[in-house]
Structures are given as structure tokens and as C-alpha cells.
Chains A and B, each alone.
Chain A
Amino acid sequence: MISKEEIKKLADLARIEIGEEEQAKLALEMDAILDYVGQISEISEGSAFPSPEQGEGHAIVGGEVNIMREDENPTASGTYSKELIAEFPRKEGNYLKVKKIL
């Protein structure tokens, strides 16, 4: 059972404000969903069952690998600036304006 408090904690971690009422409703819905997806613990583990390998940039579970390239030939500075700056919610000149961080 997921408690309302756990939902509140998850929402805080995900940076989403959720009202009291919705927290309670979400707890019930999450229980039902987790109960359903919990059936993967029953998956038949034949000889093919792959053991999870950990590690960044290495083969991960399923044998998939990351595709890397050299970090070279960057786009000329300023190529996309005009369009990107136009989308800033708050700005001062060409600077993005945010609330103070500290």
C-alpha cells in the first residue's frame, strides 16, 4: 500500500505540486497499477534469463549499447540564439532571468 505521504514525497522529488485530494486519489490508483505491473515478478526465468549488468556506457540489461561519437565540429556560436531566446519566459536583454538560487 502506498500512503498519501509517500505520494507527497514522490511529487516533491519530481518537482510537481499536487493538492491533498489528488494525493489520496493517486495513492489508490498507484496501488492498482503497481499491483498489475507487479506480475512481472512471475516471468518464467528460462536459461535465456539475462543477468543485469550495471555500468554507464557499457552493455546494460538486454545487451543494448550506447552509440558514441567524437564531440567535434560544434555549431557556430549564435546560430540558434535568436529563436531560443525568443522562447525564454523571462529575460533581460539576451539573458535568461531566473529566481536567485542561493
Chain B
Amino acid sequence: MTIKKARELLDKKEISAKELAEGALLQIEKRNKELNVFLEVYDDVLKQAEDAQKLIDSKKSSELTGIPLAVKDNILIKGRKASAASKILENYTATYTATAAQKLLDQSVVFMGRTNMDEFAMGGSTENSAYGVTKNPHDTERVAGGSSGGSAVAVAADMAMGALGSDTGGSVREPASFCGVVGLKPTYGSVSRYGLMAMGSSLDVIGPIGKTVSDVEIIFDAIKGKDKYDSTSIDISPLSPSYIKRGKEGKMKIGVPYHILDQKGISDDVKKNTDESIEKLKNLGFEIQEIKLPNIDKSLAVYYIVMPAEVSSNMARYDGIKYGLSVPGKNLLEVYKKTRGEGFGKEVRRRIILGTYVLSSGYYDAYYSKAMAARKIIGLEFAEAFEKVDAILTPTAPSPAFKIGEKSDPLEMYLADIFTVTANIVGVPALSLPSGFASPKPSAEAGFSEINGKKLPLGIQLMSPHSSENILFEIGKYFLGEVSH
């Protein structure tokens, strides 16, 4: 059931908030053990539902009152545990509430629990969780994607009607694509980062995951807005900027940078599905235009310099002194080193060291400085492209969900972010839409194309100019058949 439908039924008293919560709890009971979605299911879910019902009964409900939602384990809710799926915060209880979570609490949503993720959101498969991998509900031998893998599966497996994730380089969109649901990475700053554990502060944004574009839009509208606790936050209104559609007769124009589809490592299933999705959009009346983004192929390199640089400074706060894990040592330095050595997992350690390297005095100019300049150039290329088209289409990921343990080499894993990181580098909004399934192949010769008769979801990604989420929602609703001409 969609959030939109549930709202109708709740307000018409055809279903109660408690029944919705019980439905979600039943799904959790059935499949959470197998899929490893929730790190904790809150023990007051039914109490939350009863409180929401009181508001509904007195006709004081808002759009999300009584709707069961899941929250990623790196978003704080005061008094509840938040561990970022790390050993270093295993027993940490949040001392304040994230603005995005508070805005949902203000509407009396029902928070089901906190979802599994790659440790501190560093990864694209949820394999980097200190608490075990989250499995893909479409094929449990495969990853759910990441880092918001738990949030995507919670929605895909009906354990919640929507979820919050966070997206630094694709962490909402890639798992949404792997699990066949809708995921939005909003414009940088449109959702407050207050209370989101920082990873790459110039890239991070909280984003919603849902079954439909309308549901994602409802959650986004609830959490967005300028916040005095985040100086980078901004207000966006659906009416401004007054955006002139580029296509003829009010038709929207979608640009496709075909040249990036020729890169190595993109599966045939994805290429075929992208072509089919473009055809579908044409048939729906959208104009398609080829565009060139000459430096987009450098995006991933820029990302894997800027992000670890920011990670290395953001992770400095976990030192075993103020909160979280503290491993005893014979002096202060040893407390730091042992706590961080034992508390952080491999990938977090790797990124801190990489960041320390690219920021060190001898290499700063060759890496960080160069990456910041490249970031600006890619941004200018996007601005130029958006003079001609309303949105840009790419696949969300270069392949369907891969097998658990398949990508043991870190660089190989990073390449899965190739289409998603650009939106974070440029700060524009991006939406991943389910666009079909990888077609089963009888022969097992082609690595990740081997499907074993199981249908694996694929996704396409749309990007649009800053603060124009409305364009993404409009195209997305046509694409998924939520509206028609």
C-alpha cells in the first residue's frame, strides 16, 4: 500500500494507525531475521500508533500522521540509539533529534526502527555494516545496495511505507535501484543536515525512499526547509524559481549524455534497459536530446578525493573520550589509537587514511586542490546543459544488484557509484526510478548477468537543476504511470 492510499483510508476510518503498524511489524517478524534490515525495532511502535490515532480521531492529522516509516541508523532521535552501524557507537544514545526526524515527529509518524547501513554510510552494498550485510529481497544471495540498504529493503519488503536514508554519493539512489523502489537525493541544503552523522559535509543530504514518486514527494515536502541549526540549509518552494521548460509547447526536454554509456563495466542489461526507458519517455511525449558533459567521467575521481578528505576530518570526533567506545590504553595517545583502530571497520579506516594522504602538504595541490577545481568545472558543464534541457537521464547503477562478497577490491566497489556521485558533486537533485528488471539469461558465462531465473530490479536516474525537484516528480509520475496526459 502507498502512503497516499493509507492516508485516505486512515482519514476515512477504514483502517487504523495501529492496524498499519501491526501490518508492518508482521512483515518484520516474517523477514527481518533473513534480510537483516532493522538493527533495532522500537518497542513503542504500537504506542506511537495509538498517539497518532488520537490525532486522526480528532481530525488533526497531517499528511504523514500514523504512517509507519523507517529511519537510517545515522539519523538522530533523542533518547533512541543511533550507531551508524559502527562498533564505535554501539551503545550510543542520541542526545538530540535531527531536524528531518523532528519534522516527521511533528506530524506524528510511526517510527518502526533504525535500519542497517554501511558503517558511517561508507559503502555501496551495506556489506560494511558492523552488524552483518542486508540482503536483497529479490534474491537473498545479493546485496541490497548501500549505504541506505536497510531503508530501501524496509520499503521494498513492506516493513515500512517509507524511509529516510542519506545520500553522499548515491546512498539513497543505488539501493533504491537495486530493490525496485523510488529514491530521492534532494538538492544540497534543501533538507537540514542537523542531526545527521556527518560523512562528507559538502556532499551529504538526507533523502526519502518510497514505493511511488508521490510518496517520496510527500516525505520530501515534510522534511525540507531552511533550518537555523544548519547554515547551509535553504528554502525551496515549488513555485520558485519560475522554471521555463525547454521543450516545445510546454513539453519537457530530457538530455541523455550517451557518451557515458560507452564506458567499461556497464552491464548489457543496464544498457538495454536505459534504451527502453528512453523509448518509453518518448512515447509519453517527452523530447529526448543528446547532450555532452565532457568532464563527467572525472566525477568519480573528484568524489573519491573530496569525500575521503572530508571523512578524515569528520571522523576525528570519534576519539574514545566524549562518547561511544573507549578502549583503555596506557596513555591518552594509546586510548585514541586503540579506540579508533578497534572501533572503526576496514572501509572507514581506509577512507580516513586516504583522506589524510590527499590533504597532506605534499599532495594537497595534486589531489584536493585539483579536485575542487574539477568540481567547479563539472558544475559549469551541468549549468550549461540545463540551458538546453530540463532534466538529464542516466542509469542509476552500472549493473543490477551484485552478489554478496563479489566485489572484494575497494576500487571495484567504488566504480558502482559512477553515475550517482555527480549529483552530489554538483549539488543538484536526482531521482532513481524503478525501470524494469534484468532479463534472465540461461547461460552462466557472463558474470553478473547470471540471474538464476530471479528477476533483479533496475533503475534509471533523472537529475534536474538546483531546487527543481518538481521537475523530477513530474517526469517520474508519468514514467511510473502515477499520472497520465
Q: Residues of A with Cβ closer than 8 Å to B?
A: 2, 7, 10-18, 22, 26, 29-30, 32-34, 36-44, 46, 48-50, 52, 60-63, 67-69, 80, 83-84, 86-90, 96, 98-101
Nearest CB to that of B329 among chain A residues? A99
Mostly, the B contact residues are helix
Of the candidates B294, B357, B409, the one whose C-beta lies within 8 Å of that of A10 is B357
Q: Is the CB of B376 within 8 A of A50?
A: yes
In the bound complex, residues from chain A placing their C-beta under 8 Å from that of B344 are: 16
Interface range for B: 35 or more
Nearest CB to that of B410 among chain A residues? A29
Q: Is the CB of A29 within 8 A of B350?
A: yes
CA–CA, A58 and B191, complex, Å: 25
CA–CA, A96 and B326, complex, Å: 13
Is B295 at the interface (CB under 8 A from chain A)? yes
Shortest Cβ gap from A72 to chain B (Å)? 12
Shortest Cβ gap from A52 to chain B (Å)? 5
Instruction: Return 17 A-B CB contacts under 8 Å, by A number.
Output: A12-B337, A16-B349, A17-B337, A17-B341, A22-B346, A37-B301, A40-B302, A40-B371, A43-B298, A43-B373, A50-B377, A83-B78, A86-B95, A89-B324, A89-B325, A99-B329, A99-B331
- A15-B340, A87-B95 given; A62·B353 CB < 8 A: no
- A80-B96, A87-B92 given; A44·B294 CB < 8 A: yes
Nearest CB to that of B94 among chain A residues? A83
- A14-B352, A39-B298, A50-B376 given; A84·B337 CB < 8 A: no
CA–CA, A30 and B410, complex, Å: 9
CA–CA, A99 and B301, complex, Å: 41
In the bound complex, residues from chain B placing their C-beta under 8 Å from that of A101 are: 332
Nearest CB to that of B79 among chain A residues? A83
Of the candidates B298, B302, B332, B375, the one whose C-beta lies within 8 Å of that of A98 is B332
In the bound complex, residues from chain A placing their C-beta under 8 Å from that of B354 are: 30, 33
- A11-B353, A37-B367, A80-B96 given; A43·B411 CB < 8 A: no
Nearest CB to that of A46 among chain B residues? B377
CA–CA, A31 and B438, complex, Å: 34
- A40-B298, A44-B295, A96-B321 given; A15·B353 CB < 8 A: no
Instruction: Flag B320-336 by CB within 8 Å of A: 1 or 0 each.
Output: 11111110010111011
Nearest CB to that of B380 among chain A residues? A48
CA–CA, A34 and B354, complex, Å: 9
Shortest Cβ gap from B362 to chain A (Å)? 11
Q: Is the CB of A10 within 8 A of B356?
A: yes
Q: Is the CB of B376 within 8 A of A62?
A: yes
Is B220 at the interface (CB under 8 A from chain A)? no
In the bound complex, residues from chain A placing their C-beta under 8 Å from that of B319 are: 15
